[in-house]
Amino acid sequence: MAKLSDYLRLVKFSHTIFAMPFAMIGFTYALKCGSPTLSEPWHWIVLLGQVVLCMVFARNTAMGFNRWADWRIDAENPRTANREIPAGVISPKRALTFVIINAVLFIVTASTINSLTAVLSPVALAVVMFYSYCKRFTSLAHFVLGLSLGIAPVGAYIAVTGEFALEPCILSLIVITWCGGFDIIYALQDAAFDRERGLHSIPSRFSARTSLIISALMHIISIAALVWFASYLPGHWYLWVGVAIFTALLTLEHLLVTPTKQRNIGIAFGTLNGLASTSLAFFVILDLLL
């Protein structure tokens, strides 16, 4: 019988740190600079809980479905053969049941927030689940992953205000290009396997050097979009500290991983990007609150 910890490993729960900070930025920005539709002064606490639950359920659905859809491919890849489904820790049937339960919980929770989050919840699920099949036919799968995570700040903003706005869409652009860029770096590990199996990615289509140039260009767009978003904020000095740290960590990522030096991909992908998102969220939210 699979344990809760097995399911948490299945969905890489620790990787929630990538999108959750941006959702919190979108949430706080909506409270401070948007037009919040709060019925009571304390309502934001309940709403925050709803947004966090939606994030968890949506990500569990996306990652669980990805592992279920790819488990046969993962079984053939030495790097991924020990994942929970190909290793026999969780059966494909139980993984799919886990996905369905989380998808239902996401739609139900989103429907308790407002009418727009209710209507858009199935659309969000369609996007995050569609990603799992993209590498079978397009090298742009990295950017679909970015879009899947980029939904988070827009969704959090809509949860508070019940409407769209430009600013959370800029946040989404940051996430799309940032995640797309670091996923290209991550995919370098499987470039040879993907070519052999006919799977699509930037590294399987281009050389490592070209792939890293594309990744760097995406991160330059991320930083430019971040400066654009910062122009809508109060702009205290600590905001720019956050922007500088985010920029420095992305730069370090590209210094650690080169065409001939790829042993640091794990540090660049997990550690540096986790630090980038959390530190940026800390300073941006500080700027908004103070």
pLDDT in tens, 171-214: 999 999 999 999 999 999 999 999 999 999 999 999 999 999 99
What's the whole-number mean pLDDT along residues 128-139?
Answer: 95
Give me the count of residues in the chain.
290
CA dihedral 195, 200, 206, 207 (to 10 degrees): -50
* pLDDT, tens only, 100-128: 999 999 999 999 999 999 999 999 999 99
pLDDT-derived band at 1 (thresholds 50, 70, 90) equals low
The pLDDT, as a whole number, for residue 3 is 81
The tally of CA atoms less than 13 A away on the side-chain side of residue 48 is 12
Residue with tokens 């996007």: 127
10: left (phi over 0), alpha (psi -120 to 50) or beta: alpha
Q: How many helices (DSSP H) and strands (DSSP E) are in the chain? A: 14, 0
Distance of CA 17 to the CA centre of its chain: 8
The pLDDT, as a whole number, for residue 11 is 82
Cα distances (angstroms) measured from residue 177 to each of 27, 127, 183 = 20, 16, 10
Backbone angles phi, psi at 217, to 5 degrees: -65, -40
- Taking alpha carbons only, the member of 108, 42, 95 closest to residue 67 is 95
Walk me through the domains of the chain, giving residue ranges and CATH numbers.
4-289 (1.10.357.140)
Does residue 246 surpass a pLDDT of 70? yes
For 92, other C-beta atoms within 10 Å of its C-beta total 14
pLDDT-derived band at 20 (thresholds 50, 70, 90) equals very high
- Taking alpha carbons only, the member of 59, 33, 65, 43 closest to residue 112 is 43
Percent of the chain's residues with pLDDT above 90: 86
Name which of 8-12, 39-43, 70-74, 144-148 the model is least confident about.
Answer: 39-43
Q: Provide the whole-model pTM.
A: 0.94
The pLDDT, as a whole number, for residue 36 is 87
